[in-house]
């Protein structure tokens, strides 16, 4: 029982201090401390344990959140780059302004060469192309040698076009409205079709003579609002046989389709009239039709 009481003198202190058990304990603690300093075995063991329990632990804490934000940002950046590359590739292959408009995102634009823009411009009918920019103005810009690239960006449902020099300074700013884009699309679609094949003219197709008779009933300025560019129809070879009027108004305009026969070929030319004027013209046509039906019924009886 003597070992469990306090030592009484220095000799007893020394005997207990230099006993085998304290020395072994000191050596063990020293070995653990030295090994930790040299090979970090405690951290490694703790890390190995945490790895084995990683799946079961909840994904929370500052490190988890930072990791999630980094991963999300990386994926978003990759998607943005991929989308931009795809848009640019589609734009380089585009043959119409509508294809560019359909593939340009609201938050990004596409860059094309000046030659590509000129090809798109020249693919349009002359009268329609002039609504974007005068060909003389385009020739002037090209002759100066400053115009090198063209930038397209979304402007609502339309397009803003910037003609740029080598330093990306804007030489000319153009706007392609939604109504023009619709006109481009239907112009290309309608050239090989008949009025019956275009659904927006269904049940609103009139013989050409009745249409022009109705047109003659209005003053010149009103007729110009109904058919804004009659000179375009004069430049087309063939005979106008029928006329269709759409019941869809887009940006204040309504489309009128003229079916033209030239020999064995048939095509439809689309023009856009002002909504208020075309509705007056259509109402007059329907009144003519009703009067003709009444007269026909009277004659039959």
Is position 86 within any domain?
no
Claim to verify: residue 174 and residue 201 sit in the same structural domain: no
Predicted confidence at residue 8, as pLDDT, reads 62
In a domain, 29, yes or no: no
Burial 95-112 (b: 16+ CB within 10 A, else e): ebbbebbebbeeeebbeb
Structural domain includes residue 164: yes
Say yes or no: 134 and 168 in one domain.
yes
d(CA 182, CA 98): 8
C-alpha 269/C-alpha 275 separation (Å) is: 18
Residue 269 forms beta bridges with which residues?
258
Same domain, 216 and 280: yes
Domain count along the chain: 2
Q: What share of the chain is helix, strand, coil (3-state, %, to 5)?
A: 55, 20, 25
Q: What pLDDT, on the 0 to 100 scale, is given for residue 241?
A: 92
Tens-level pLDDT at each residue, the chain (301 residues): 455 556 566 666 666 666 667 777 777 777 777 766 666 766 777 777 766 776 666 666 666 677 677 777 666 656 554 555 555 666 677 778 888 887 777 777 888 888 888 888 887 777 678 888 888 898 898 888 889 888 888 888 788 899 998 888 989 999 888 877 776 766 554 554 688 877 888 888 999 999 999 999 999 989 988 988 787 788 778 899 999 998 888 777 888 889 998 888 888 888 888 889 999 999 988 887 666 555 555 545 5
Q: Do 197 and 174 have their domain in common?
A: no
Of 121, 144, 178, the domain-final residue: 178
Q: In terms of domains, do 200 and 165 share one?
A: no
Measured between alpha carbons, how far apart are the two ends of the chain, in Å?
A: 142
Together in a domain, 202 and 173: no
Start-end of H helices in 149-219: 178-190, 208-215
Of 124, 150, 178, the residue at which a domain comes to its end is 178
- 260, 269 contact by CB (below 8 A): yes
285 in the same domain as 208: yes
Same-domain check for residues 280 and 206: yes
In a domain, 84, yes or no: no
Summarize pLDDT for 186-201 with one digit per residue, the tens. 655 455 468 887 788 8
Q: Is position 111 within any domain? A: yes
Kindly state whether residues 285 and 214 are assigned to the same domain.
yes
Whole-number Å distance between alpha carbons of 111 and 292: 57
CA–CA dist 139, 141 (Å, integer): 5
The dihedrals phi and psi of 133, each to the nearest 5 degrees, come to -160, 145
Do 169 and 197 belong to one domain? no
HSE-up (13 A, CA, CB side) for residue 69: 7
- Is residue 23 classed exposed, middle or buried when 0-12, 13-18 and 19+ CB atoms within 10 A define those classes? exposed
Contacts of 195 (CB under 8 A, 6+ apart): 201, 205, 242, 244, 257, 259, 268
Domain membership of residue 145 (yes or no) is: yes
- Domain of 220, in residue numbers: 192-295
Write down the pLDDT at residue 231.
Answer: 79
Which one of 154, 178, 202 terminates a domain? Answer: 178
Beta-bridge partners for 111: 151
Same domain membership, residue 238 and residue 160: no
CA distance 63 to 1: 56
Tell whether 16 is covered by a domain. no
Distances (CA, A) of 237 to 60, 130, 249, 270: 75, 21, 29, 15
Query: Would 54 be classed as within a structural domain?
Result: no
Q: What is the pLDDT of residue 1?
A: 46
Residues 211 and 288 in one domain: yes
């Amino acid at each position: 029982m003597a070992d469990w009481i306090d030592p009484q003198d220095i000799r007893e202190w020394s005997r207990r201090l230099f006993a085998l058990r304290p020395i072994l304990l000191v050596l063990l603690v020293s070995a653990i401390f030295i090994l930790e300093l040299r090979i970090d075995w405690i951290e490694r063991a703790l890390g190995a344990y945490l790895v084995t329990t990683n799946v079961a632990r909840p994904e929370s804490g500052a490190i988890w959140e930072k990791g999630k934000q980094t991963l999300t940002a990386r994926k978003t950046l990759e998607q943005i780059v991929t989308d931009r590359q795809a848009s640019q590739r589609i734009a380089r292959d585009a043959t119409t302004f509508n294809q560019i408009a359909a593939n340009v995102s609201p938050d990004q634009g596409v860059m094309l060469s000046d030659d590509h823009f000129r090809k798109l411009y020249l693919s349009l009918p002359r009268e329609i192309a002039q609504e974007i920019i005068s060909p003389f103005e385009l020739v002037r810009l090209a002759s100066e040698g400053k115009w090198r690239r063209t930038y397209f960006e979304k402007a609502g449902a339309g397009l803003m076009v910037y003609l740029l020099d080598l330093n990306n300074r804007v030489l000319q700013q153009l706007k392609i409205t939604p109504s023009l884009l619709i006109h481009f699309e239907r112009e290309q679609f309608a050239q090989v079709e008949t009025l019956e094949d275009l659904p927006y003219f269904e049940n609103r197709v009139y013989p050409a003579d009745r249409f022009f008779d109705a047109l003659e009933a209005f003053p010149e300025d009103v007729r110009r609002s109904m058919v804004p560019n009659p000179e375009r129809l004069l430049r087309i070879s063939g005979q106008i046989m029928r006329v269709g009027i759409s019941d869809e108004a887009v940006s204040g305009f309504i489309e009128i389709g003229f079916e033209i026969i030239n020999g064995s070929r048939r095509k439809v030319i689309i023009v856009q009239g002002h909504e208020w004027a075309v509705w007056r013209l259509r109402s007059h046509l329907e009144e003519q039709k009703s009067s003709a039906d009444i007269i026909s019924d009277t004659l039959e009886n």
